[in-house]
Structure 1
Amino acid sequence: VKSWADAFGGELYSIVTKYSGSLLLQKKYKDVEPTLKIKEVDGLELVKKFSEQMESMLRRKVEAVESVFFQAVLVIVCLILSCCLSLFHYLHQQFDYYNSVLINEKDENDNYVELGDEFILEPNEHFNNLLVNTTYSDIQLPTNVYNKDPDILNGVYMSEALNPIFVDNFERDPTLTWQYFGSSTGFFRLYPGIKWLPDENGVISFDCRNRGWYIQAATSPKDIVIVVDVSGSMKGLRMTIAKHTITTILDTLGENDFVNIIA
């Protein structure tokens, strides 16, 4: 047993040394060791300072979320009022927006396509060097949602008010990353704006309404029982459709939901 343990330990040490980079770290330490100084610090004071910094950082995050939330509530109120005042038809006929799939796209006459005007994108180290626009957000829609639907246009128009909130949040707290707003009609406003690429079949399958954060915010906890017919009559395409339906239902559930499947 001792021989086996020694052999196993040797192999484990060899693997850890190879892939952890410990030898490189030791070499770097040796290179700078003559310039290093040992300084005694107050552990309690260090923890207190770290705690204050964490509190400040988290407070900025909360303030950013609250500002987006309050503006989103105002957007909803304005949307309701516009419908009540019969402004709905006027708004959706007068308004265009930046569609994240169509931005910077041109037709055969070298003109920008509808909803695809020029949208400046630049690499940003804070966002993993992705091409983004930190001055504006844009709109993503799944393929099965019509991008000029009146409900979409009206909602996108109202949510334009979130743009200055996104920018202000980022300027006040550069540690923030993505900020976004998901709508029940299916549009997804994302800051900073990016170019969204469809899959190899030309399909945009991402739908914000199927994301966990949206589902948890929009619904209460659920208890679900799914009953599946597995008799001979369900063979072939019927069973395939049933499985796909069940998978789709499961994708909409959150961590606070309970589900059971009876087959």
Structure 2
Amino acid sequence: MIRSYFPKCVAVVALLALSVGALDTFIAAVYEHTVILPNRTETPVSKEEGLFLMNKNIDVLEKAVKLAAKQGAHIIVTPEDGIYGWVFTRESIYPYLEDIPDPGVNWIPCRDPWRFGNTPVQQRLSCLAKDNSICVPCNASDPQCPPDGRYQYTDVVFDSQGKLVAHYRKYNLFAPEIQFDFPKDSELVTFDTPFGKFGIFTSVVAVDEFQVDSILYPTAWYNTLPLLSAVPFYSAWAKAMGVNLLAANTHNTSMHM
């Protein structure tokens, strides 16, 4: 965990109803998760099987969230693909997906899980955030309309009330990520907290134009050259820009992650 400071001149909108007021400092946690992977990623399974696997991963994440909260964390970042794994086809990822509305709908899945259909994963993540008074960025997906009738995206953020406050559609997809769609344009996604303005990892523009204090970087990445070079690059970039970089990777030593 790290303690971080942000400029007092930042305009803060209190989207997170924490028990404390506006803060000059905050405590952040990042969690490196060993993902419990499905046996067959390229063969479609039932919705029930998909939910069973995701709940096993969320069981582990729940312990991490509770431990972080006990140590005073205000926000925790968990890894990309952290509740289902990777190497899916477009069809085989479907049982792991849920519809995600625009954050402007003012929705707390923990209190109203059926408002946008069956959303057990979002309900559970929302309740984790709410019950532990912590902000939880995690990964899921979001629908609209290619040939099979849906877009498939990643990255959502819940605040300490369990409210959906942001989602990010990943633009620079890795070559094997054929299960997801990339948006027409890259997005600049930010959200405000009593302890600063956060951006979900996009580009330097997010810092320059939106005056964010911290960048969230959930990832599933390889610690091998040349891919390893991305880590010191982003770290040096964050230092040069004067922002916090909160990165959470998956843990899979057989894949050099």
Normalising by the smaller structure, the TM-score range is under 0.3
TM-score (norm 1): 0.26
Higher helix share: 1
Considering only CA atoms, is the larger Rg found in Structure 1 or Structure 2? 1
TM-score (norm 2): 0.26
